[in-house]
Structure 1
Amino acid sequence: MSDVEPSIPADYPREWEADVVLRDGSVAHVRPIRPDDAERIHRFHAAQSEESIYLRFFAPIKRLSDRDVRRFTHVDYVERVALVATVGDDIIGIGRYDRLGGRDATSAEVAFNVADSFQGRGVGSVMLEHLAAIGAENGVAEFVADVLPQNRKMIQVFTEAGYDVSRNFDDGVISVRFEIEPNEKSQAVRLAREQRAESQSVRALLNPSSIAVVGVSRDGRSVGGRVLANLVEGGYRGTLHVVHPEAGTIEGLPTVPSISAIGEPVDLVVIAVPAPKVLDVVAECGGAGVRALLVVSAGFAESGPEGAERQAQLLALARRHGMRVVGPNSFGLINTREDTRLNASIAYEMPPAGHLGLFAQSGALGIAVLASAGRRGLGLSDFASAGNRIDVSGNDLLQYWIDDDDTHAVGLYLESVGNPRKFTRIARQLALRKPVVVVKSEVSAFGRPPGHRVRETRTPPRAFREMLRQSGVIRVGNVHQLFDVAQLVVNQPLPKGRRVAVVANSDALGALCGDAALSWKLDVTRGPVAVAADASEDAFRDALVAAFADENVDSVVASFIPPLITGGRDVARTVAAVSAQYDKPCVTTFLGIDGVSDDLSASAPDGSTRIVPSYPMPEDGVRALAAATNYAEWRGRDRGEPVAPLGIDRKGVHEMVRSIMAESPDGRELTADETAQLLALARISVWPSVPARSPKEAVDAAEELGFPVVVKSIAPQVRHQVASALRADLRSPLAVVEAYEALAERLEEYGPDQFVVQKMATPGIGCSVTSVEDPLFGPVVSFSVSGPPTDLLDDVGYRNPPLTTGDVSELVSSIKAWPLLDGSRGRGIDRAAIEDLVARVSVLADENPEIAHLELNPVSTHPGGLDVLGARITLAPASLRQDSGRRAMT
């Protein structure tokens, strides 16, 4: 509905609206209740069983009074909050809380009611998650509820949410009470539920028991015809329907005139009609109870404004009926498993079955990715092309592959990332179990593909690279490199370290391999060992066995040119046989030797087949080996615990931020006193600075603070430039006057009133800790050494909250200037102090989206701790984060 419709209150919180995936993979819409929901409430209540009504109201109420319904539907969204979950125009669930004791009270009574036909699908759990997040935003600290003992499902909703629930039985009613502040367990429960629901949703897409294809021409020479032929030729195991309004049969298959004429539920409908007709088909699918849509039709947002409007209508219509959508402009879906054999794509042939899951966004890239996999002989478990990605995205496929035993590694070709915050969270969870290889161009406002819904970003491309590294993702430059790495991580064990042996039958080739390994920061601890070009097969085997058996070797690089005596295929079989006996990876190159790929497989001791990847040039194999080694190191690294700095007054921070935003709805930069006050609530102490508009005021400030002092400029253009904007260790009034006058003359172009006086801090190295609320990435925390490393060399490290202690440690040491701080060139800093400061800034940024910019600079770090000498904070209206505490499809 639009803003002008009278049924929507002026204070209606649209930001609470969300589409959610339920436990069974279906889709529902959660939104605040509205006055025009009165009739829907009556219909909902009338459809409920007597038992459900009694459990909710403790009485057999056949019809709700108009007075009650008005009270239910008219809320203030602060003291009284109500949400409804809908599918189509029907309410399937209602959740509400009423604050107990007025606006300042911190307790609220919570209640739920779920439609009988939707019970057991997780509707109540979703409603509780959303209400708890809203309650926390509104200052509610705990929920209470009265539940009848026989209402076991509702009691389970509370107890299984991960909160610490206390119960009290009195007068036939169980009273429950729990704090709604998210804890580690409740957050884990929420994320696990999200993963299971979204995984189940994708499972229904990739494993449909029935498919209907709409848009097949009579002669089959159409995109729809290509998909239909692929489904038949691929051996699809389910029920296949062909929809055509007139033809009796197509390609020997009987047709039905419409989706509704099928007469039974359909899991997946493939839509390949011209774009202007797509919405009619979607509407019919919604009415027929179809679960999911694959739209291969083009002509949507990628084609211009008219197509963009059509695309928005497609999403709204599908969501209204609870259907998931792949596309539009999708290349299709493939599942090679023998029990499904799904080739709902426009690919020319079914790829071989294997253990690599692949995701690509555009159709053109889908063709390139599948062709490359085919040339490599690399088998796939699944392939999905999201097209314009209006609904199903890479995030959904990642959720599915987390617990899919048939997928051993994942490859993604991403043109854009609609929700990087959620992507990195899910990618990290997946990367802890199996490798994730990503091809992604740099993130910028210019890199948005036509048709993709992507927010602009102000964060530099390096921040996204760091985000991927933080998540354990293996980032590569192109599709060629993606499959280089995939061949290794799918078929070989992960390296246990960086130590490499090089075996070759040419000194020059061995040197090439060794140089490549060193360039990728691998340690060559054995070789290069070069056997003679005319060596026997036994000599090759002995050299390889010695390399694999060496306890100082973690991986083996084997490269050969055509031998004069032993055949190249014999060497390949020897490499495969030896490699299969060891739990160490091996990469190979056979220069000028054709047809060895079929000979590079052998049986391992556990009975599995081990395939040794072969590369055109040694550099390709070594680069892939280095990527796998870096990933293995990340996977084995201790990531620590979520940061939880002691002493942060979260409530005080929230209240202060709300108070300032209430006075300045558009936001503003905080004064120095406000900045110090807000940071003090987080136990961050800022050294006081006294503004000075003249030499006399500077002297007065110095005498008030006590000598020695510092005079510095706070002009934005030079505030980071210590050498030109600061005079330190001033020990007399005369020194203060001279310093002030010199700076004023030097920096005259930046205007007056730009100077402050501070107490002289302990000598140290200046650092900067910053957080920025980015429209695309959400909070981004950075760390750097102040001055030239930041200003000239852009030597800045980035991480995305929420952070673990391991993330913080890696951020601090990720910058190239770290040797200036770690003691290798003098006294080291107090690392624990700087990590604690970064952790506190990350928590402030993560929990307060109104903090648009927070900068601590300079932070003087030294062996005895640190001193925050400068700080700036800017507040702005909170951005609508895409991965908040409320579960939502994004």
Structure 2
Amino acid sequence: MTPRDWVADPADVLLADGTIAVLRTIRPEDRQGVLDLHEQVSEDTLRLRFFSANREAGRTYVAHLFDPDNTTSAALVAVSRGRILALATAEEIDEETAEVAFLVSDQDRGRGLGSLLLEHLAALGRRHGVRRFEADVLEENYGMLRVFRRAGFAGTRRTEEGEVAFVLRTDASQEAVDAADRRQWRAEALSLRPLLYPRSVAVVGVRRAAGGYGHGLLDAIRSSPYDGPLHVVHPEAVTIDGLAAVPSLAAIGEPVDLVVISVPGEEVAAVLRAAGEAGAGSVCVVSSGFAGRTAGAEELVATARSHSLRIVGPNSQGLLLNDPGLHLNATLLHEVPEPGGLGLVSQSGGMGFALLDMARDVGLGVHAFVSLGDKVDVSSNDVLGAWMDDDRVTAAMLYLESFGNALKFARTARRFAERKPLLALVGGRSRERLERGHSGVSGPGVGVDALLTQAGVVACPSGMTLCETALLLTEQPLPAGLRIGIVSNTGGLGNVALDLVDGQGLDVVAFSAELQAAIPEAVDGRNPVDLGADVSPERLEECVATMLASDELDVVLALLVSTRLTDRVELFAALGRARTTRPDKPVVLVAAGALADVARGIPGVTVYNTIVGAAASLGRAARYAEWRRVADDRPVVELGTRGEHARGWADTRLASRAGEPEWLPADAMTELLAPYGISLAGTVCPMEHAPRVAAEVGFPVVVKVAETTELHKADRGLVRVDLRRPEEVEEAVDQLRGAFGGDADVLVQPLLMGHRVGVGIVPDPSLGPLVRVAAGEGTTLGTWDDEVLLLPPVAPADAARAVRALRLWPALVGSRGSWAVDTEPLEALVVSVGQLALDVPHLDDLVVDPVFLDAEGVHFVDIKAHLSPPPALDAGIPRRLASQRRTSAKD
């Protein structure tokens, strides 16, 4: 066998108890530590590992591992605070197979070391071409059996004479990635508990004289209702602002959960080291001067890792921990929002403060705020993982400017959004375009759009929209559908709301005669309902209760203006009473201006002061609810026979052209795309045969020049539609010949009707090819204005959610007087295009537009495909998909 260089980069990992360890390849200096591990475990543990309690077996194996001539063994150790906790080894059997074994110290069992070592050993094996692991385990070795069963790696097991033989594949299956993520999220919750729920706090960096960040933070903490132990550390002062000071963290006499550091940048490392040595659980570094992966930032991370310490910052603006049992304000914010269920994470402290101010203005309750700063350690992924199973957090909101690990974010965000709402605002999306002059078909941030949409994140364009949408998602149940009923005490407001909610993709349904008859004394009982300016509280209550009871509606939107003809407080109370009749349906009230402040106390009703804010929030909530209703599944990243053929075909074609890119002609497109279910409707033929072919296709027909390099045929007069007789086809052919400048093949198609959509592949500079599904009248990518972007591979659930996210969706299911169609053929097409994007990276631009969707399925009217040399690949998978293993506790 060929010798392999079994070396793995050190990886910081979270253990099951929330502490930090480092996994790395063994080094010559580890010999004594590995020997001590074998010597110190119990005889029973030794027997489970070597099937014998003979300690000489352990010593012999250690000698084998550290033999300089040994080139067939891989070995990883887990190290924490300078001690080796566990060992994992792989002994080569052949070029593709290795036998694995694990030894965990007795005192470190139950910390998840076996699972982590198996995960990282598999990644090391994959890198060196090892496809299978084999392991023999005694039936009574319950811990190791559990590790193999729960790892998520595909494989087999066989039991014989008290031993269980496992054969595991090393490839990173979706199950293995999911299992690793679940372990990580559970560990994050424990690791970040001292940060998110601190029982004691120390502030380092407060001047004796007033002023500065340290003083501001100390004042904020003392002004908040936090009643846990608070310590201020100063090397010389006895008291600061009447609070007794201690000279060092060690002098406190016991570990503190949270240390807030606000010292000059050059002193941070020493304070961090002191915090670790004093046993602190977490630190929030407000000090700046560490942006980027500088030596100073790396020193902070290394110090924290060696003491199992979590860091927020540097350059953080602090933490607001608003839980009713905590009430800790360690920020410079003057006024904080009311307690609630929203968790807020912001990469920018200033933007975080602005969002908190907006949250307070709209009445949005906040559970916690974390200012990430330079995020050398704790990231949004980590905080979301900690909040994943925290019932006190009912929704989360993010302000981000960058993604450290986009794929990990997508997985974490998706799992979070499957459980509770996740909203995001991403700033700086146009920066790349402004700095690099980007002018491609993909607008600024389209990759971010794809990432968020596919993960179920409710993306918002502004801070106020973010807070308004979060208000609805934290206060109301998710709507069961898109049907909305509007009621007001003035018809003008109802008409304005009608246009706005319709523009958000909601369905303002026409009431049945029965429902109209049940609405009491309305000026207009249709939808929107106008109850008149003199509506009584009793009439409003009866009307709203009737609408909520109807199975024709999923949401009720009320619009009330204050007049001298009614008591507004009584009207609001009546609305609240009606709300109690159906707590499972969202009820939203728009009360303009100062009236909103009066209305905000209505139980169970979410109040907005503008129709625009209410309509946009309802639209986003409804689309998120549609996303949640789709059953989840997982894509399979696998290059099958179809994919191998398609990639080989593309390689050959490009080679024949010496790598020169091209827009594929019709016959070549058919060859490449037909196996993926994509082929043009109609028949390609010479111009002179068009009348005969049109008769065979069946009138009416469309005739167009078939030349695929013509990207805007309609603009050039190369398309003729609705031709109903052979003579019209002959005349059209003559016109096409003149417009084209000579003879050419033409495509004769039936005149198709149906819902018009478009599907394609577009490049993104950071994430690679994206799959695009769109609706509207556009025949080029640049004019699509109702679209969803997806990262391949596209799972069936991703495709179904994408189609439901289109504003066209209500029309597809028969709303607004349109005809309902089965959307499964369109969803299957999106999945197929996603697989095509993976299988053939040479296809850097694909436009399948328009596609007509009718009762019989999908019909392809126009296709354009551009082939060019592919980007660099890693084992047949685009680079952004190849790096799925977690290598550190941060992004």
Name the SS of the counterpart of 2:432 in structure 1: coil
Q: Once the 2 structures are TM-superposed, how far is the Cα of residue 561 of structure 1 from its aligned partner?
A: 2.2
Query: Within 1, Cα distance between the matches of 2:433 and 2:194?
Result: 32
Residue type matched to 1:804 in 2? A
- Alpha-carbon deviations, 1:252-284, whole Å to 9, x = none? 443332234444333322111111211222233
Residue type matched to 2:640 in 1? I
Query: Within 1, Cα distance between the matches of 2:745 and 2:123?
Result: 42
Structure-2-length-normalised TM-score: 0.76
Query: Within 1, Cα distance between the matches of 2:112 and 2:461?
Result: 41
8 A Cα contact 2:14 2:188, kept in partner: yes
Q: Once the 2 structures are TM-superposed, how far is the Cα of residue 68 of structure 1 from its aligned partner?
A: 2.8
Q: Once the 2 structures are TM-superposed, how far is the Cα of residue 880 of structure 1 from its aligned partner?
A: 5.5
Query: Within 1, Cα distance between the matches of 2:359 and 2:806?
Result: 37
CA 686–358 in structure 1, closer or farther in 2 if over 3 Å, else same: closer
- Alpha-carbon deviations, 1:686-743, whole Å to 9, x = none? 99xxxxxxxxxxxxxxxxxxxxxx999898xx6897998999xxxxxxxxxxxxxx99
Residue type matched to 2:549 in 1? A
Is it true that 1:26 corresponds to 2:19 in the alignment? yes
- Alpha-carbon deviations, 1:785-835, whole Å to 9, x = none? 999823553577521134221323565798899999999xxxx99997886
Name the SS of the counterpart of 1:348 in structure 2: coil
Q: How does 1:55-74 map to 2 (within 5 A)?
A: 55-57=48-50, 59-61=54-56, 67-71=63-67
CA 385–820 in structure 1, closer or farther in 2 if over 3 Å, else same: closer
CA 99–401 in structure 1, closer or farther in 2 if over 3 Å, else same: same
Query: Within 1, Cα distance between the matches of 2:811 and 2:597?
Result: 51
- Alpha-carbon deviations, 1:477-530, whole Å to 9, x = none? 222222222222222222222232322222323333333333334415443333
Alignment match, 2:518: none
Is it true that 1:615 corresponds to 2:638 in the alignment? no
Is it true that 1:188 corresponds to 2:178 in the alignment? yes
Alignment match, 2:392: 406
Query: Within 1, Cα distance between the matches of 2:572 and 2:805?
Result: 41
Name the SS of the counterpart of 2:608 in structure 1: coil
Q: Once the 2 structures are TM-superposed, how far is the Cα of residue 125 of structure 1 from its aligned partner?
A: 0.7
Which among 620, 640, 645 is matched to residue 648 of structure 1?
A: 640
Most deviating of 772-781 and 218-227 = 772-781
Query: Within 1, Cα distance between the matches of 2:552 and 2:312?
Result: 49
Residue type matched to 2:508 in 1? D
CA 860–479 in structure 1, closer or farther in 2 if over 3 Å, else same: closer
Which among 313, 327, 331 is matched to residue 317 of structure 2?
A: 331
8 A Cα contact 1:713 1:726, kept in partner: no
Residue type matched to 2:796 in 1? T
- Alpha-carbon deviations, 1:107-138, whole Å to 9, x = none? 22112233444332212211212222343454
8 A Cα contact 2:31 2:62, kept in partner: no
Which among 99, 105, 109 is matched to residue 119 of structure 1?
A: 109
Residue type matched to 1:208 in 2? P
Query: Within 1, Cα distance between the matches of 2:76 and 2:674?
Result: 33
Name the SS of the counterpart of 2:548 in structure 1: helix
Alignment match, 1:703: none
Q: How does 1:347-746 map to 2 (within 5 A)?
A: 347-441=333-427, 443-446=429-432, 460-520=444-504, 521-524=506-509, 525=511, 526-583=526-583, 584-591=585-592, 594=595, 596-597=597-598, 600-601=601-602, 610-636=603-629, 638-639=630-631, 641-643=633-635, 648-649=640-641
Is it true that 1:265 corresponds to 2:255 in the alignment? yes
8 A Cα contact 1:686 1:869, kept in partner: no
- Alpha-carbon deviations, 1:645-672, whole Å to 9, x = none? 9991499799999x99xx9xxx999999
8 A Cα contact 2:341 2:474, kept in partner: yes
Residue type matched to 2:885 in 1? R
CA 775–869 in structure 1, closer or farther in 2 if over 3 Å, else same: closer
Query: Within 2, Cα distance between the matches of 1:546 and 1:858?
Result: 46
CA 712–269 in structure 1, closer or farther in 2 if over 3 Å, else same: same
Alignment match, 1:805: 796
8 A Cα contact 2:626 2:805, kept in partner: no
Residue type matched to 1:887 in 2? R
Name the SS of the counterpart of 1:265 in structure 2: coil
Name the SS of the counterpart of 1:446 in structure 2: helix
Query: Within 2, Cα distance between the matches of 1:530 and 1:671?
Result: 57
Which among 252, 267, 279 is matched to residue 269 of structure 2?
A: 279
Q: Once the 2 structures are TM-superposed, how far is the Cα of residue 339 of structure 1 from its aligned partner?
A: 3.2
Q: Once the 2 structures are TM-superposed, how far is the Cα of residue 858 of structure 1 from its aligned partner?
A: 7.5
Most deviating of 189-198 and 537-546 = 537-546
8 A Cα contact 1:107 1:142, kept in partner: yes
Query: Within 2, Cα distance between the matches of 1:559 and 1:372?
Result: 22
Name the SS of the counterpart of 1:780 in structure 2: strand
Query: Within 2, Cα distance between the matches of 1:722 and 1:592?
Result: 50
CA 427–256 in structure 1, closer or farther in 2 if over 3 Å, else same: same
Name the SS of the counterpart of 1:100 in structure 2: strand
Give the aligned length: 806
Residue type matched to 2:790 in 1? R
8 A Cα contact 1:568 1:593, kept in partner: no
Name the SS of the counterpart of 2:345 in structure 1: strand
- Alpha-carbon deviations, 1:172-203, whole Å to 9, x = none? 75433233445554443233222222233333
CA 236–118 in structure 1, closer or farther in 2 if over 3 Å, else same: farther
8 A Cα contact 2:337 2:360, kept in partner: yes
Alignment match, 2:88: 95
CA 652–514 in structure 1, closer or farther in 2 if over 3 Å, else same: closer
Alignment match, 1:454: none
Q: Once the 2 structures are TM-superposed, how far is the Cα of residue 293 of structure 1 from its aligned partner?
A: 1.8
Is it true that 1:249 corresponds to 2:239 in the alignment? yes
Q: Once the 2 structures are TM-superposed, how far is the Cα of residue 571 of structure 1 from its aligned partner?
A: 1.8
Name the SS of the counterpart of 1:630 in structure 2: helix
Which among 85, 88, 105 is matched to residue 78 of structure 2?
A: 85
Q: Once the 2 structures are TM-superposed, how far is the Cα of residue 358 of structure 1 from its aligned partner?
A: 1.7
Q: Once the 2 structures are TM-superposed, how far is the Cα of residue 70 of structure 1 from its aligned partner?
A: 2.9
Query: Within 1, Cα distance between the matches of 2:864 and 2:258?
Result: 61
Alignment match, 1:781: 771
Name the SS of the counterpart of 1:428 in structure 2: helix
Q: Once the 2 structures are TM-superposed, how far is the Cα of residue 60 of structure 1 from its aligned partner?
A: 0.9
Query: Within 2, Cα distance between the matches of 1:550 and 1:786?
Result: 32
Query: Within 1, Cα distance between the matches of 2:858 and 2:497?
Result: 47
Query: Within 2, Cα distance between the matches of 1:122 and 1:214?
Result: 34
CA 785–430 in structure 1, closer or farther in 2 if over 3 Å, else same: closer
Query: Within 2, Cα distance between the matches of 1:649 and 1:764?
Result: 35
Is it true that 1:314 corresponds to 2:318 in the alignment? no
* CA RMSD after TM alignment: 5.2
Query: Within 2, Cα distance between the matches of 1:175 and 1:573?
Result: 69
Name the SS of the counterpart of 2:571 in structure 1: helix
Alignment match, 2:519: none
Alignment match, 1:705: none
CA 137–537 in structure 1, closer or farther in 2 if over 3 Å, else same: same
Name the SS of the counterpart of 1:789 in structure 2: coil
- Alpha-carbon deviations, 1:121-157, whole Å to 9, x = none? 2122112122223434544332111334554322221
Name the SS of the counterpart of 2:419 in structure 1: coil
Q: How does 1:754-793 map to 2 (within 5 A)?
A: 776-777=766-767, 780-782=770-772, 789-790=779-780, 792-793=782-783
Name the SS of the counterpart of 2:208 in structure 1: coil
Q: Once the 2 structures are TM-superposed, how far is the Cα of residue 206 of structure 1 from its aligned partner?
A: 0.3
CA 562–193 in structure 1, closer or farther in 2 if over 3 Å, else same: same
Q: How does 1:144-223 map to 2 (within 5 A)?
A: 144-163=134-153, 166-168=156-158, 174-183=164-173, 185-219=175-209, 221-223=211-213
Name the SS of the counterpart of 2:493 in structure 1: helix
CA 296–161 in structure 1, closer or farther in 2 if over 3 Å, else same: same
Query: Within 2, Cα distance between the matches of 1:655 and 1:92?
Result: 46
CA 382–516 in structure 1, closer or farther in 2 if over 3 Å, else same: same
Q: Once the 2 structures are TM-superposed, how far is the Cα of residue 473 of structure 1 from its aligned partner?
A: 2.2
Alignment match, 1:885: 884
Alignment match, 1:233: 223
- Alpha-carbon deviations, 1:60-110, whole Å to 9, x = none? 1475788534348975xxx654333334555443323233123xxx32211
Name the SS of the counterpart of 2:369 in structure 1: strand
Gaps of 5+ in 1: 1-8, 450-456, 602-609, 688-709, 728-741, 748-756
Query: Within 1, Cα distance between the matches of 2:741 and 2:84?
Result: 69
Percent identity at matched positions? 33
Q: Once the 2 structures are TM-superposed, how far is the Cα of residue 205 of structure 1 from its aligned partner?
A: 1.7
